[in-house]
Amino acid sequence: MPAPSGNGNAISDSDTRKPSDRLEGSLPNPFRTPNEGHTHVISPRRFAAVLASSLLLGLALPGAATAAPAKPAVKTAAAKTAAKTAAAKAAKAKAAQAAAAKAAAAKKAVTAKATTTAKTTTGTTAKVAATTTTVPTLASRLAGVKTAKSLNYYPSGAGWSKMWTNWDPAKIDADLAKADALGADNVRIIIFPSTFGWPRPWNGYQDRLATFVDTAAARGMTVKFTLFDWWNGYGEVANSTSWATTILKRYKDDKRVLSVELQNEFNPSDAAAVGWAKKMVPAMRSAFPTMPLTFSVDGQSGAPGMAKIKAALTASPLDYYDFHYYGNSERALAVIKNAQATVAPAPLVIGEVGLNTLQNTEGEQAAFLARVFEGAKAAGVQSVAPWTLNDFVQGAIPSSAVSRIPAQYSYGLYRVDGSAKPAAAVVKAGWTGTALPASLMDPSFESTVGLTPWRAYLPELGLAVKTQSMARTGKWSVSMTNTGKTSAGSPSYRVAPIAPVKSGQKWHGEVWARGNAATGTTQIALSWFDANDKWLGGASSTWLPVGTTGWTKLVVDGVAPAGSVSMQVHLKSGENKGTVWFDDALISAS
pLDDT at 392 over 50: yes
In the chain, where the domains are located:
119-432, 449-589
Do residues 285 and 341 touch, judged by C-beta distance below 8 A?
Answer: no
3-state secondary structure of 543: coil
What topology does CATH give the domain 449-589?
Jelly Rolls (2.60.120)
**Helices assigned H by DSSP within 138-224:** 138-147, 162-165, 169-182, 193-196, 203-218
- Cα distance between residue 114 and residue 129, in whole Å: 6
**Amino acid letter, residue 476:** W
pLDDT at 430 over 80: yes
Do residues 148 and 258 touch, judged by C-beta distance below 8 A?
Answer: yes
For 512, which DSSP code? E
Q: Is there a common fold for 119-432 and 449-589?
A: no
- Cα distance between residue 507 and residue 570, in whole Å: 13
For the segment 224-251, what is each residue's pLDDT rounded down to a tens digit?
A: 999 999 999 999 999 999 999 999 999 9
For 32, which DSSP code? B
Entry pTM? 0.81
Cα dihedral: 279, 281, 286, 289 (round 10): 180
Task: Name the pLDDT band for 449 (thresholds 50, 70, 90).
Answer: confident
Provide the pLDDT for residue 133. Answer: 62
Cα dihedral: 153, 155, 158, 161 (round 10): -20
Among 307, 312, 300, residue whose Cα is nearest residue 338: 307
Sheet holding 293-294, edge to edge: 150-152, 186-190, 222-226, 257-261, 293-294
- Cα distance between residue 513 and residue 586, in whole Å: 13
Provide the pLDDT for residue 117. Answer: 35
pLDDT at 35 over 90: no
Task: Name the pLDDT band for 581 (thresholds 50, 70, 90).
Answer: very high
- Cα distance between residue 15 and residue 3, in whole Å: 12
- What CATH number has the domain spanning 119-432? 3.20.20.80
**CA of residue 331 relative to chain centroid, distance:** 19
**Could you tell me which residue, 95 or 349, shows the higher pLDDT?**
349
Among 297, 324, 329, 328, residue whose Cα is nearest residue 313: 297
pLDDT at 51 over 50: no
- Average pLDDT, stretch 175-189? 98
* Lowest-pLDDT range of 79-83, 231-235, 355-359, 552-556: 79-83
- Cα distance between residue 15 and residue 13, in whole Å: 6
- Cα distance between residue 492 and residue 487, in whole Å: 14
Task: Name the pLDDT band for 57 (thresholds 50, 70, 90).
Answer: very low
Among 16, 43, 18, residue whose Cα is nearest residue 29: 43
pLDDT at 539 over 50: yes
Relative orientation angle of helices 271-287 and 237-248, to the nearest 10 degrees: 40
